[in-house]
Amino acid sequence: MPPESANAGRVLQGKRREAARARLDALWQRGRTLLGTRYAILGGAMSWVSERHLVAAISNAGGFGVLACGSLQPPQLAAEIAGVRALTDQPFGVNLIVMHPELEALTRLCLDQGVSHIVFAGGLPSAPVLRTVREGGAKVLCFAPTPTLAKRLVRNGVDALIIEGAEAGGHIGPVSTSVLAQEILPQVREVPVFVAGGIGRGEAMALYLLMGASGCQLGTRFVCAHESIAHPRFKRAFIRATARDAVVSTQIDPDLPVIPVRALANAGTQQFMEVQRDVAARYRKQELTQQEAQLEIELFWAGALRRAVIEGDVEAGSVMAGQSVGMVTAEQSTAEIIDELVEQAIDALAEHDSSGPVSP
């Protein structure tokens, strides 16, 4: 190829990438505006992993870090919020579990601390809780597992929705991300919708943005960030795993609803089956209410996850991971991960639009 032709090709490719970058900015502008960030990339809230260091690193890299409250009590959450603020001046949010017994106190704490965005997970927040948050001036994001519930949440005044498919790590629903996106994105236009579950590359982000999403949420990709405090053995388990190693727990008792959990198969997976049998037996004997039984199971997961993440017990602990774990191949900085995702999305959009005209 003559040098002139090669140079012309590079110029054309550069223009296509510039156009693709501008298109990416336009596609997720609604999400960026809601979050107040450079990129509409939320960090999935992972208990014990999404603490101050990783949350701040995601926000500093242009994404939106989300602090996982999990089973923390108000004083612990207050310390984590202060810890994030000491590490970043960028926007971030707090994820609260709806079944937490201290939900009201945690919600008011977030408002008192000036948290700008609250993400409710593990159920639907009540109308009074939503009203409290709105009156407190914070934005509300909620997970929507079905089109019907998505529309109800919009009517109740949420500011944005997250739809998370079964490919995700941790607690999951039964429907895949691609199906949820096809069900919900065309029907919900009133508020921004973020897609989550199984997303490990920028090409997937670009696809969901083209389908109408306002941004994406990723958790598993950030576990092996340099800034993540996850134990080295926990990170090694991620790097060695394939997508097929991240399996879903089984519900034993049909009368005791248990939210399935996706994690790397190990001895802890079997231990959960034994715990579930014990809790279910006590529930059937009416020694526990359904709510108490479910809470005990959730506390098991919280403890097992802590043993794996903090102590490095990847055999008996819970190594929660999404199926995108197969795309985690090395430890990287958070900024590198986000830059890589954005560049992949730009490349995908440039390829998608390559048949269209490019202005000279």
Q: Which helix (H) or strand (E) holds 344?
A: helix 334-352
Residue whose structure tokens are 């994105």: 185
pLDDT digits (tens, 9 = 90+) for 115-147: 999 999 988 999 899 999 999 999 999 999 999
Q: What's the CATH superfamily of 3-229+330-352?
A: Aldolase class I (3.20.20.70)
Q: What is the pLDDT of residue 343?
A: 97
Q: What is the pLDDT of residue 8?
A: 60
Q: Rounded CA gap, 161 and 163, in Å?
A: 7
Residues 6+ apart with CB under 8 A from 72: 80
Q: What is the pLDDT of residue 3?
A: 60
| Structure-token pair, residue 232 | 């080295």
pTM for the predicted model, two decimal places: 0.92
Cα 345 to chain center, whole Å? 18
- Gyration radius of the chain over CA positions: 21
Any idea where the domains of the chain sit in the sequence?
3-229+330-352, 232-323
Residues in the chain with pLDDT values less than 70: 1-12, 355-360
Q: Rounded CA gap, 268 and 252, in Å?
A: 16
pLDDT digits (tens, 9 = 90+) for 279-290: 989 998 989 988
For 320, list phi and psi in degrees, rounded to 5: -65, 130
For strands 215-218 and 92-97, give the pairing: unpaired
For strands 92-97 and 65-68, give the pairing: parallel
- List 96's β-bridge partners, or say none: 120
| Structure-token pair, residue 79 | 């310390």
